[in-house]
Structure 1
Amino acid sequence: MFESAELGHHIDKDVYKTEAPRLRAELLDIQYEVLAQKAFPVVILVSGVDGSGKGETINLLYSWMDPRHISTLAFAEPSDEERERPYMWRYWRALPPKGKIGIFAGSWYSQPISERISGEMGRAELAERLEEINRFEAMLVNEGALVLKFWFHLSREAQKKRLKLLASNPQTAWRVSKKIYARQKTYQQLQTTASHVLRVTNTAKAPWIIVEGTDDAYRSLTVGRVIRDAMQRRLSQPVAPVPVAPPVHHAVDKRSVLGELDLSQSLGKKEYERLLARYQARLAELLRAPRFTSRYSLVLVFEGSDAAGKGGSIRRLAAAMDARHYQIVPIAAPTEEERAQPYLWRFWRHVPRTGRVTIFDRSWYGRVLVERVEGYCREEDWLRAYAEINDFEDQLEDDGALVVKFWLQISADEQLRRFKEREQTDFKRFKITAEDWRNRDKWDDYLTAACDMIDRTSTDIAPWTLVEANDKNFARIKVLRTVCERIEAALADAEDSNK
């Protein structure tokens, strides 16, 4: 895989002096065009062997383009906060918005390669991580990002020569640390692992560009031209939408998971109060358990019909929690900042750390509900979202988050009664808007979308709990009981695994 990067590629100094100014001007012009259009972000990954010119290349791009619209993210060992969240959390937070360029010095590839070389990561785990990365990059491209991945290569002899040259110069000697000299001993292991990683992740959506790092002029012109050509091509040829999921089909007898719910279930006031006190106390105890606080986090997702009682259920849950350890995130229309990022970005921001709780009042399922029904996104976008959402929740679960999802369902008649009650009650008027009435006119469309969502995203790791919510007392207790049972099951599994 690296043969072409060991040929001794070289650019004459006079050729470089002629080509570089023109290339620099072209890069600057196209950078401003990308910035003006704000149609897509540019994500540049800079990886490779020590001494191959990674840092010099990043500095060059800063000098050739406007640095005000470039961000560089250098990732070392994860911090304690980062370790308490899913692996990809810190990379999601660093993604550049549309119109900007983000350079990743070290990236989501660095840790898997390092841990595979050291033996901390096995082949099966590496394969799983690389599949996860491929899906992540495919999602970025489908969301419009231009992803460019550079691997800078040096042969073993070229690396030794390069490091010796850097060490001999007082101005560059600081770049050659003891850690870099130590890594020279694992050169062949790096080549073997990197070759495998690059082969598996060299996809049509995000291919690798391997660049020989021996000659500075060759490396600089190569990288500059690749970035220029890719940005020009992306501006002139937007990503074409392609089908990425099977089309939706519906049962011919018109039966559905929500249509079959028994909405007549109810709970008397005395029994409700008794069970409320019981489950709130139980939940408070579970969230303080050392096995929970040291190993798990809790992600609660609330979706449902308008006026189905999501807020009331959330308040009963929050009453049992320490206010310092939970966050309620109400989801409305995305802000301008959020629209400039992939749609899952604003949810990754709120992923809780170990021992904490995040409650989403509405969630990432808006892509396959309101955005689908109202036509706020293309059909191919919400169709592929099912798989992307399942992958997102799988990553949360892998890192110890317990994802508990609720759909609260009421009848159309009960919704109408609650709407009218809200209009007539002073302290509830804020809960009813013209949009609620407009959404009610699309009751059947939202019901169809919700049933499709449940069918495609109720997985073994993050199943949907369907809550019959015509009776608020019944719904609130079912929600509390479900959360308690989910935490108890996880703690029991943890205890069994420790035996």
Structure 2
Amino acid sequence: MFESAEIGHAIDKETYDAEVPALREALLEAQFELKQQARFPVIVLINGIEGAGKGETVKLLNEWMDPRLIEVRTFDQQTDEELARPPAWRYWRALPAKGRIGVFFGNWYSQMLQGRVHGLFKDAVLDQAIRGAERLEEMLCDEGALIIKFWFHLSKKQMKARLKALKDDPLHSWRISPLDWQQSETYDRFVRFGERVLRQTSRDYAPWHVIEGVDPHYRSLAVGRILLEGLQAALKAQHGPVHQANIAPLGRAIDQRSLLDSLDMSLRLDKNDYQEQLITEQARLAGLLRDKRMRRHALVAVFEGNDAAGKGGAIRRVAAALDPRQYRIVPIAAPTEEERAQPYLWRFWRHVPARGKFTVFDRSWYGRVLVERVEGFCTQADWMRAYGEINDFEEQLTGAGVVLVKFWLSIDQQTQLERFQEREQIPFKRFKITEEDWRNREKWGEYAQAVGDMVDRTSTEIAPWTLVEANDKRWARVKVLRTINDALEAAFKKDKK
């Protein structure tokens, strides 16, 4: 793959100077149109050999284009804030919004290559990282992003010649970094693993472009032209993202509606039992979150359920056991303008807690396969591929030590009707009932089908759903607390193995 980058392309200064004005004008026009349409972001990944002109080329692009609409990010050593969260968190929070360009140095490819080159892990871990990168890029492209990946290349001979020339030049020797010397020693391994990564991750929706780095005129024009062609093609596209994932049909092996109907909605706790068990479980939770073993974990609790199923009351009983500094409650409503300018999962990634912390999601990323599906707020392709994206997201969370518990609070239609009527009669509860709640009752069957499919597709071994019989609020609150406590204790026991 890299042989073609060693041919020795060169462009004389006269030709370069003649072509730059038209290229720059076209890039500025495309950048302006990108901002005006605000339909998709552009993510430019910069990788390759040290000294091949990565920094100089990006600096030049900022001169040719409007730098106010370009966000350059460098991911070197992870900060303490980043180390306390799943690895992908640092990239998600840096994603450019629609209409903007993000340039990523030291991105996910740099991390996996450096780790493998220096023997921090074996090929199996590298292949796992490669698959993770593919899933991330496929999801971003499905959300509409344009991804352009550059590998700046130098042959071993060219790299050594550059280092010798700089070393012998007292005015420019400062340009040699420790990473330059380090890579000169590991060049063969870096190129070997680099080619492996490029071959496995060059896809139609996010291809690699290998740029020969010796001649600055050639590499600058090559990168500018590729960026321009990508922008113009994406701007002309009228419908949908660059790539659509292959979507498997929903299975019908399990009748999940009968599963929900099979819940024993008569389960109840009398007041005395409720008070005793509530206090016991709250004390248990308080102790677990203060346990030193919690430093290796974060806790995320997801609350979904029928309207008026008692999610708010259950969350309040969980919070009542804790110091307010220990937890955060994130209510999820319709996305804001800022959130609509990002891929769907961005709004949830940004709230992932650090180790030792607890975050409650009052509704969650499952909105895409529930309300957005039923109400037609997204396409069928969007919500069907969301199952896989959600499972991947949750796998990344649990793989980083997050204890994830997911609740569906279920009530029957008659109980919901009684609670709606009660809310309309009690002044301090009227804010809880809206016209939308009444409209949703008319789609009870559609929501039940959506919940069934959701449980079927996303109740995994690492992140199972807990279905809560919520006709009796007391029973539901105690079951929620006990489930959280059991999940924490199970995670702590695994730490010992």
TM over 0.5: yes
Distance in 2 separating the partners of 1:319 and 1:387: 35
Report the AA paired with residue 198 of structure 2. L
Displacement of 1:182: 2.5
Report the AA paired with residue 119 of structure 1. G
Match in the other structure for 1:349? 350
Distance in 2 separating the partners of 1:339 and 1:167: 50
Distance in 2 separating the partners of 1:252 and 1:341: 35
Match in the other structure for 1:44? 44
Distance in 2 separating the partners of 1:216 and 1:172: 17
Indicate if the aligned counterparts of 1:244 and 1:380 stay in contact, CA closer than 8 A: no
Distance in 2 separating the partners of 1:159 and 1:240: 36
Distance 1:329 1:56, change over 3 A: same
Match in the other structure for 1:283? 285
Distance in 2 separating the partners of 1:335 and 1:168: 56
Report the AA paired with residue 276 of structure 1. L
Unaligned runs of 5+ in 1: none
- RMSD between aligned alpha carbons? 1.5
Which of these residues, 248, 271, 274, is aligned with residue 273 of structure 2? Answer: 271
Report the AA paired with residue 379 of structure 1. Q
User: 1:76-99: CA deviations, max 9, x gaps?
Assistant: 110111011001000000000000
TM-score (norm 1): 0.97
Distance in 1 separating the partners of 2:242 and 2:70: 26
Match in the other structure for 1:373? 374
User: 1:126-177: CA deviations, max 9, x gaps?
Assistant: 1111111100000000000000000000011111222344456667543312
Distance in 2 separating the partners of 1:310 and 1:350: 19
Distance 1:157 1:234, change over 3 A: same
Describe the SS at the equivalent of 2:403. Answer: strand
Range with bigger deviation, 6-15 or 467-476: 6-15
Indicate if the aligned counterparts of 1:96 and 1:102 stay in contact, CA closer than 8 A: yes
Indicate if the aligned counterparts of 1:241 and 1:380 stay in contact, CA closer than 8 A: no
Distance in 1 separating the partners of 2:254 and 2:402: 38
Distance in 2 separating the partners of 1:145 and 1:360: 26
Indicate if the aligned counterparts of 1:9 and 1:215 stay in contact, CA closer than 8 A: yes
Displacement of 1:180: 2.0
User: 1:38-69: CA deviations, max 9, x gaps?
Assistant: 01100001111110000001101100100110
Report the AA paired with residue 281 of structure 2. Y
User: 1:371-430: CA deviations, max 9, x gaps?
Assistant: 101111110000000000000000000000011000000001100111111111111111
Indicate if the aligned counterparts of 2:408 and 2:466 stay in contact, CA closer than 8 A: yes
Distance 1:75 1:243, change over 3 A: closer
Describe the SS at the equivalent of 2:460. Answer: coil
Displacement of 1:438: 1.2
Match in the other structure for 2:224? 224
Range with bigger deviation, 167-176 or 426-435: 167-176
Displacement of 1:109: 1.0
1:5 aligns with 2:14: no
Distance in 1 separating the partners of 2:386 and 2:449: 16
Match in the other structure for 1:400? 401
1:257 aligns with 2:259: yes
Describe the SS at the equivalent of 1:211. Answer: strand
Describe the SS at the equivalent of 1:350. Answer: coil
Describe the SS at the equivalent of 2:249. Answer: coil
Displacement of 1:6: 0.7
Distance in 2 separating the partners of 1:494 and 1:256: 37
Distance 1:354 1:254, change over 3 A: closer
Indicate if the aligned counterparts of 1:283 and 1:320 stay in contact, CA closer than 8 A: yes
Match in the other structure for 2:298? 297
Match in the other structure for 1:80? 80
Range with bigger deviation, 329-338 or 231-240: 231-240
Match in the other structure for 1:62? 62
Which of these residues, 238, 245, 248, is aligned with residue 250 of structure 2? Answer: 248
Indicate if the aligned counterparts of 1:52 and 1:153 stay in contact, CA closer than 8 A: yes
Distance in 2 separating the partners of 1:433 and 1:227: 48
Describe the SS at the equivalent of 1:459. Answer: coil
Describe the SS at the equivalent of 1:257. Answer: helix
Distance in 1 separating the partners of 2:136 and 2:233: 22
Number of residue pairs aligned between Structure 1 and Structure 2:
495
1:204 aligns with 2:204: yes
Q: How does 1:19-168 map to 2 (within 5 A)?
A: 19-167=19-167
* Percent identity for Structure 1 against Structure 2: 56
Distance 1:349 1:240, change over 3 A: closer
Describe the SS at the equivalent of 2:409. Answer: strand
Displacement of 1:243: 5.8
Indicate if the aligned counterparts of 2:84 and 2:354 stay in contact, CA closer than 8 A: yes
Distance 1:14 1:254, change over 3 A: closer
TM-score (norm 2): 0.97
Match in the other structure for 1:174? 174
1:413 aligns with 2:419: no
User: 1:106-134: CA deviations, max 9, x gaps?
Assistant: 21111111111111122111111111110
Displacement of 1:321: 1.9
Distance 1:284 1:401, change over 3 A: same
